[in-house]
Amino acid sequence: MEPGNDTQYLEFLLLGLAQDPELQLLIFGLFLSMYLVTALGNLLIILATISDSHLHTPMYFFLSNLSFVDICFTSTTIPKMLVNIQTQSKAISYAGCITQIYFSVLFIGLDDFFLTAMAYDRFVAICHPLHYMVIMNHRLCVLLVLGSWIVSVLHALLQSLMVLQLSFYTDLEMPQFFCELNQVVQRACSDTFLNEVVIYIASFLLALGPLIGILYSYFKIVSSIRAISSVQGKYKAFSTCASHLSVVSLFYGTSLGVYLSSAVTQNSHSTATASVMYSVVTPMLNPFIYSLRNKDIKSALRKICDTGK
């Protein structure tokens, strides 16, 4: 095959999670259900934080932004997969693939930054409770969200433009259900050294940096909790962090699983399965993690349900 220089006719073939036609209907139903649960769950979180004045705090402001990003992230990947299964096609256009790369990189970055902002919010709330409202003022919260969007948009644009410089063979197969950045770069037929350097540097700065910030925040949080004398006080302080800590562990654990599975093994099935965990399962579970043990969220959701009756 010749390298595909004419991008107008270039297509990628997304092999998905299974080649067996008998499993396609099951996968379609499963992913459609997960997508609807993700969209509905995160939308309810957004509506709850907007409608209840008790939730107009920095923590829930960041949570509503995280929920919005999770809806957008799954909307970038799952609908195309469902369409391909329904039409029995594996193809995605070159433009569609670049678009998926841009938005997936954008929303993954935003997830990372918002989780870091939420960790900082918990750090201030527990370690500096008397100055919480002064430090976490509305202006700072807006600046953190705006800064996260600006950096993530620029990073996604850079990665997408770097991919546009590569050449590919026609009808290139990928063992994925969406165009994941590393998978696309690895299958280019031109030199990818600069792309790999940019990916590694960006990963170090935009993934490891926020992770260090989160770990530092929780180190200080744990130190402050240990200094609390009463058991009840310790439990109350820790309970405010439990949901966020669960989401952070899920996000970084599944994301790390993707890169380890692609680096350690050549098994395409394991790589695709790991991608499902961070791109589909994690956004779906976030609303449940934040609502099941959160009395304020459950109270706001009950009010929404009562209003709808």
Q: What is the pLDDT of residues 200-224, one digit of tens each?
A: 999 888 888 999 999 999 999 999 9
**Of the given ranges (26-35, 75-84, 258-267), which has the lowest mean pLDDT?**
258-267
Q: What pLDDT sits at residue 121?
A: 95
Helices (H) and strands (E) in the chain, counts: 12, 5
- What distance lies between CA 295 and its chain's CA centroid? 25
Residue 6 has pLDDT above 70, yes or no: no
Q: What pLDDT sits at residue 7?
A: 63
Q: What pLDDT sits at residue 2?
A: 46
Give the three-class secondary structure for 256.
helix
| pLDDT (tens digit per residue) in 228-267 | 888 887 887 788 788 888 889 888 887 776 666 555 555 5
User: What are the b/e assignments for 207-219, b being 16+ CB within 10 Å?
Assistant: beebbebbeebbe
The residue among 22, 159, 151, 60 whose CA lies nearest residue 104 is 159
**Of the given ranges (94-103, 112-121, 265-274, 285-294), which has the lowest mean pLDDT?**
265-274
Q: What pLDDT sits at residue 182?
A: 87
Residue 114 has pLDDT above 60, yes or no: yes
Q: Please state which CATH number belongs to domain 3-308.
A: 1.20.1070.10
Place of tokens 């350097």: 197
Q: How, if at all, do strands 3-4 and 168-169 pair?
A: antiparallel
At residue 193 the predicted structure's pLDDT band, cuts being 50, 70 and 90, is very high
Percentage of the residues of the chain whose pLDDT score is greater than 90: 51
Q: What pLDDT sits at residue 8?
A: 63
Q: Domain map of the chain by residue range? A: 3-308
Question: Mean pLDDT for the chain?
Answer: 87
Residue 150 has pLDDT above 60, yes or no: yes
Which residues face 11 on adjacent strands?
A: 93
**Of the given ranges (17-21, 141-145, 276-280, 300-304), which has the lowest mean pLDDT?**
17-21
Residue 1 has pLDDT above 50, yes or no: no
Residue 274 has pLDDT above 90, yes or no: no
State the pTM of this model: 0.91
